[in-house]
Amino acid sequence: MKDSMNVPNAPNQPNPIVQIGSSRLSRRTMLRASGLALGLPLLEAMTPAGRSAYAAKEALQMTDVSRPVRMACVFFPNGVIQPKWRPKVDGDNWEMGETLKPLEAFKDKLNVISNLAHENGRAGKDGAGDHARGGSTFLTAARPVKTSSNIRLGISLDQVAATALAGQTRLPSIELGLNGSRNAGSCDSGYSCAYSSNISWKNETQPMPKETIPRLAFERMFGSGDAAMERKQRLARKSILDVVRGDAERLMKQVGKTDKRKLDEYFTSVREIETRIEQTEAEDRKSLPDLEVPMGRVTAFREHARLMYDLMVVGFQTDTTRVATFMLDTAGGNRTYPEIGVKEAHHGLSHHRDKTETVEKIQKIDHYLVEQFAYFLERLDSVEESGGTLLDNSMVLYGSGLGDGNRHTHHDLPIVLAGGGGGQIKTGRYLQAAEETPMANLFLSMLDVVGTPAEEIGDSTGRLSLS
């Protein structure tokens, strides 16, 4: 193991979860100690024929339990500059638009999809409030009731899958974001703030609370739910790797060379996440010496986003969960991006009225957000699994609830679907669906891929072919 595990005087934990001499490990094997539970990546030793590399490979190809399909949904607000987003087509060939250029390395592992729409995002008889409707319909495809109190919407794509998969992973789903949720009051023309703040909905009246603090997200994934114990751990400044060191060392002694390498890389990545969380917390405390800084506060957008992306990778890698959502900002979000020279608020800029300078600033933001998404795909693609990589065995939706933020359109939504879905999705394509195809049709196909089929969701009319 690397330095992250070489901690002097780390306690040797009794009652190891790993049985020495066992020829096969359970897919759910965890390193447990002091109220913490560290999941493990998929190892050859977890296959039915763990002592035979060839046999293990064959076994993994035959069982979807060994390599489950993971699903992540990433939301960004305010639409995009469509001419810069849209791919360029030349006969049967296509190339990334300017905004999507950061994804060029993954062109063969993703699909760009156009012409998908959310009819229930449109005003109808409800008047203004397109941002709230855009956020609330993004994964539900259902019409939100225009109210500031008695909210009603519908179950979201991720929660349909999470409910069906309940019990197969330690966490049915994880919900992440960079801004806290407001579920009371009105945030957009009479619509409850709950509609703008959440994309994940358990049922018609219950949005799923999202975690915005990296440390708390980390503890949710690896903790036991014992808040007192986890607080004690933080105060002691101990890495989770320190606590489970005894089990980790025993495990490293009994697995093969390939598994040792996988574990070494995994333990290192976990420690790097912990270190980055500590560093960002320390930097924030230093930058605001006269203010009480909440635990885990992260002010830098890029680092905050990448920490959350990394946590999703680890959650998928260890099969802690197979379903995740991530909001880069609330619907209609007004974040500024001074690090790329954009000091004006995102939402305000989105009403650009075709002014060249303003359009250029919005395109800068669009491109910057895609850069962070590219980082997520890179991290997923760096984790080797049977049949390819974690990205190959995942399905990642990236998009917005608005097509054009200036005109508040709900058609031709900017959508990227990355990952091979365990071989079920044909990738490397620019898919031009028929105009006004319900985005909910894509949802039904995604549910098929993850193994949780449904008859309908939102305003679905059928399925969008992904093969």
- Based on the structure, what is the number of domains in the chain? 1
User: What angle (nearest 5°) sits at the alpha carbon of residue 399, between those of residues 393 and 404?
Assistant: 160
- pLDDT-flagged residues of the chain (< 50): 1-23, 49-65, 235, 287-295
Q: Could you identify the residue written with the tokens 């031709």?
A: 412
CATH of the domain at 167: 3.40.720
* CA–CA gap between residue 378 and residue 85 (Å, rounded): 20
- Asked if the structure places residue 262 within a domain, the reply is no
The pLDDT of residue 136: 97
Which amino acid, 50? G
- Residue 17 pLDDT: 39
Let me know the angle formed at the C-alpha of 90 by 87 and 92, rounded to the nearest 5 degrees.
100
> Can you give the pLDDT at residue 3?
42
Q: pLDDT value at position 246?
A: 80
Separation CA 147–CA 22 (nearest Å) = 58
Range of the domain at 379: 69-213+323-467
Identify whether 378 is part of a domain.
Answer: yes
Report the pLDDT value the prediction gives residue 291, as an integer from 0 to 100: 38
Whether 268 is covered by a domain: the verdict is no
Say if strands 186-188 and 191-192 run parallel, antiparallel, or are unpaired.
Answer: antiparallel
pLDDT of residue 386: 80
Half-sphere exposure of 3 (CA within 13 A, CB side): 2
Q: Is residue 298 situated within a structural domain?
A: no
- Whether 287 is covered by a domain: the verdict is no
Show the CA angle centred on residue 75, arms to residues 74 and 79, nearest 5°: 140
Q: Is residue 230 part of a domain?
A: no
Task: Report yes or no on 289 lying in a domain.
Answer: no
The predicted pLDDT at position 226 comes to 54
179: left (phi over 0), alpha (psi -120 to 50) or beta: beta
The two tokens of residue 55 are 């046999």
Distances (CA, A) of 239 to 35, 278, 427: 13, 11, 39
Assess if residue 145 is contained within a domain: yes
The number of residues making up the chain comes to 467
pTM: 0.86
* Cα radius of gyration (the chain): 22
Cα angle 42, 74, 38; round to 5: 30
What local confidence, expressed as pLDDT, does residue 181 receive? 78
